[in-house]
Amino acid sequence: MSSYRITLLAGDGIGPEITAVAQKLLEAVAQKHRFGISFDPQPMGGAAIDVCGEPLPASTLEACRSSDAVLLAAIGGPQYDSQPRQKRPESGLLALRAGMELFANLRPVKIVPALIGASTLREEVISGVDLMVVRELTGGIYFGQPKGRVKTDSGEERGFNTMTYSSSEIDRIARVAFDLAVGRQGRLCSVDKANVLDVSQLWRERVDAMAGDYPAVEVSHLYVDNAAMQLVRNPRQFDVLLTGNLFGDILSDEAAMLTGSIGMLPSASLGSDGPGLFEPVHGSAPDIAGQDKANPLAMVLSAAMMLRVGLGQDAAAASLETAVEQVLASGLRTGDLMAEGCTPVGCGAMGEALLAALN
Catalytically active residues are 142, 193, 225, 249, 253
Rg of the chain over Cα atoms, rounded to whole angstroms, equals: 20
Closer CB to ligand IPM, residue 17 or residue 249?
A: 249
* Cα 114 from chain centre: 22
Backbone angles phi, psi at 83, to 5 degrees: -70, 155
Q: Closest-CB residue for ligand IPM?
A: 90
Q: Minimum Å distance from CB 256 to ligand IPM? A: 10
Q: In angstroms, rounded to a whole number, what is the distance separating the alpha carbons of residues 180 and 161?
A: 31
Check residue 239 for interaction with ligand IPM (CB under 6 A).
Answer: no
Nearest to 349 by CA among 325, 333, 330, 329: 333
- Residues in the interface with ligand IPM (CB under 6 A) total 3
- The answer to the question of residue 100 lying near ligand IPM (CB under 6 A) is no
Helix ranges (DSSP H) in 141-197: 167-183
User: In this complex, which beta carbon is closest to Mg ion, that of residue 192 or of residue 249?
Assistant: 249
Peptide bond into 215 cis (omega under 30): no
**Beta carbon nearer to ligand IPM, 67 or 245:** 245
Q: Among 12, 136, 249, 336, which residue interacts with ligand IPM (rule: CB under 6 A)?
A: 249
307/69 Cα distance (integer angstroms)? 9
Q: How far is the CB of 292 from Mg ion (least distance, A)?
A: 25
Residue closest to Mg ion, measured at CB? 249
Q: Residue 295 — φ and ψ, nearest 5°? A: -90, 115
Query: What is the closest distance, in whole angstroms, from the C-beta atom of residue 249 to ligand IPM in the complex?
Result: 4
Which does residue 93 touch among Mg ion, ligand IPM, none (CB within 5 to 8 A, set by kind)?
ligand IPM
Residue 169 Cβ, how far from ligand IPM at the closest point, in Å? 16
For residue 307, how many other CB atoms are within 10 A of its CB?
A: 28
Of 192 and 249, CB closest to ligand IPM: 249
From the CB of 90, what's the least distance to ligand IPM, in Å? Answer: 4
Query: Which C-beta is closer to Mg ion: that of 17 or that of 249?
Result: 249
Q: From the list ligand IPM, Mg ion, none, which binds 136 (C-beta under 5 to 8 Å, kind-based)? A: none
8 A C-beta contact, residue 320 and residue 25: yes
Residues that bind Mg ion (CB under 5 A): 249
Give the CA-trace dihedral at 243, 169, 6, 293, to 10 degrees: -30
Q: Which is nearer to ligand IPM, 276 or 351 (CB)?
A: 276
Report what 12 binds from ligand IPM, Mg ion, none; CB cut-off 5-8 Å by kind.
none
**Is residue 93 within the footprint of ligand IPM (CB under 6 A)?**
yes
Cα separation values, 265 from 195, 245, 299, Å = 31, 18, 8
User: Cα separation of 356 and 21, whole Å?
Assistant: 12
40 touches, from ligand IPM, Mg ion, none (C-beta below 5 to 8 Å by class): none
163: amino acid identity, one letter: M
Question: Is 37 in a helix, a strand, or coil?
Answer: strand
Rounded to a whole number of angstroms, the minimum distance from the CB of residue 135 to ligand IPM is 8
Site mask, ligand IPM, residues 52-91, x = CB under 6 A?
--------------------------------------x-
Three-class SS state of 144: coil
Q: Annotate 191-222 with DSSP letters as a single string.
A: EE-TTT-HHHHHHHHHHHHHHTT-TTSEEEEE
Residues that bind ligand IPM (CB under 6 A): 90, 93, 249
